[in-house]
Amino acid sequence: MTLALARPDLSLRALRLWQRNWDVLRNTWLEELVWPFVEPLVTLLALGVGLGRIVQLPGDESYLEFVAPGLLAIFPMWAATSEAGWSSYFRLESERIFDAVMATPLSVDDITTGEVLWAATRGLISTLFILVVIAAFGTVASPLALLVPLAAVPACLFFAAISLCNTAVARSVRSLNYFFVLYITPQFWLSGAWFPLEELPEWAQRLSWWVPSAHAAELFRGLVRGGLEWGHMGHLAWLAVAALLFYALALLLMRRRLVR
């Protein structure tokens, strides 16, 4: 337990692991990016345009305009969690990348930090791509949308960190599934990206305070559609605090996993 409570041992060398992952992405970018690039496009066409023709929202907003900022909340969530999930697990157990790195001046905390930063980066790549796409579809109403990449940082860090926590305790690659099926998939559908959360019963609406992607969806909606309020800072703060908490937990769990 003394180990688990020790202060973090961090250095800038954490970025060297980030850089390793970046180099691998440059070798394999086509295979790696086809999923996060094509899926949001297809979704936007099917739901925004296709379904959008028959959906009538209260007010004069089209369904496409409603869905667009929601995509910024859920697809980057997928990108960051799957990177810190399956990909980190693969590096941890199959490729034994971290075993090799542990024999260098990097600390275990550097490894954890590099992985969290990298998975968050994958979330940000997805964010930037979707921002460009929804702008091209003409759904961006406010210049505040330019702040989306910055505002997305806490959300991406949070999803990266919580997924790495799950990876650090996973006994096999299959056991990662619980996290994705029970935690990420519900957030995909129930974050308020596809329909206003006010449509849900009262008790479910109250639960949404606990749903990270709901905070992200509200935040991005404010920036992209305009109408930013002080309340949006609350969503940002919620995500930032959660990111810090789960980053700290990831440091502990990865030490437990890697130090023997």
Partner 1 sequence: MKPLVVARGVVKRYGAFTAVDGVSFQVMEGECFGILGPNGAGKTTLVRLMASLSPLTAGQITVDGLDVSRQGRQVRARIGLVPQHDNLDPELTAWQNLRVFSRYFGVPKAVAEERSGELLDFFHLRERARQRVETLSAGMRRRLIIARALINAPRLLVLDEPTTGLDPQARHLLWQRLRQLKAQGVTMVLTTHYMEEAEQLCDRLIIMHEGRVLAEGSPQALVERYAGREVAEVHLAPFQDEAPVLSRLTGARGLVWERAGDVLFIYARDSDGLDPALLRGMGERVVLRRANLEDVFLRLTGRGLAE
Q: What share of the chain is helix, strand, coil (3-state, %, to 5)?
A: 80, 0, 20
Given a contact cutoff of 8 angstroms between Cβ atoms, the answer to whether 168 and 256 are in contact is: yes
Q: Is 61 in the site for partner 1 (CB under 8 A)?
A: no
Q: Is 54 in the site for partner 1 (CB under 8 A)?
A: no
Q: Is 175 in the site for partner 1 (CB under 8 A)?
A: no
Q: Is 13 in the site for partner 1 (CB under 8 A)?
A: yes
Q: Is 14 in the site for partner 1 (CB under 8 A)?
A: no
Q: Is 3 in the site for partner 1 (CB under 8 A)?
A: yes
HEC-encoded secondary structure of 229-255: CCHHHHHHHHHHHHHHHHHHHHHHHHH
The greatest distance separating any two alpha carbons of the chain, rounded to the nearest whole angstrom, comes to 60
Q: Which of 4, 19, 53, 189 binds partner 1 (CB under 8 A)?
A: 19
Minimum CB–partner distance for residue 90 and partner 1 (Å): 10
CA distances from 158 to 51, 215, 247 (A): 31, 12, 7
Q: Is 33 in the site for partner 1 (CB under 8 A)?
A: no
Residue 6 CB neighbours (<10 A): 12
Q: Is 257 in the site for partner 1 (CB under 8 A)?
A: no
Minimum CB–partner distance for residue 34 and partner 1 (Å): 17
How far, in Å, CA of 237 to CA of 243, rounded?
Answer: 10
How far, in Å, CA of 65 to CA of 73, rounded?
Answer: 14
Q: Which of 57, 96, 181, 210 binds partner 1 (CB under 8 A)?
A: 96
Minimum CB–partner distance for residue 38 and partner 1 (Å): 22
DSSP string computed for 4-52: HHSPP---TTHHHHHHHHHHHHHHHHHHHHHHHHHHHHHHIIIIIIIGG
Q: Is 256 in the site for partner 1 (CB under 8 A)?
A: no
Choice between 104 and 177, CB closer to partner 1? 104
Q: Is 101 in the site for partner 1 (CB under 8 A)?
A: yes
Choice between 45 and 102, CB closer to partner 1? 102
Q: Is 259 in the site for partner 1 (CB under 8 A)?
A: yes
Given a contact cutoff of 8 angstroms between Cβ atoms, the answer to whether 170 and 258 are in contact is: no
Minimum CB–partner distance for residue 106 and partner 1 (Å): 6
Q: Is 177 in the site for partner 1 (CB under 8 A)?
A: no
Residues that bind partner 1 (CB under 8 A): 3, 11, 13, 16-17, 19-20, 23-24, 27-28, 95-97, 99-107, 259-260
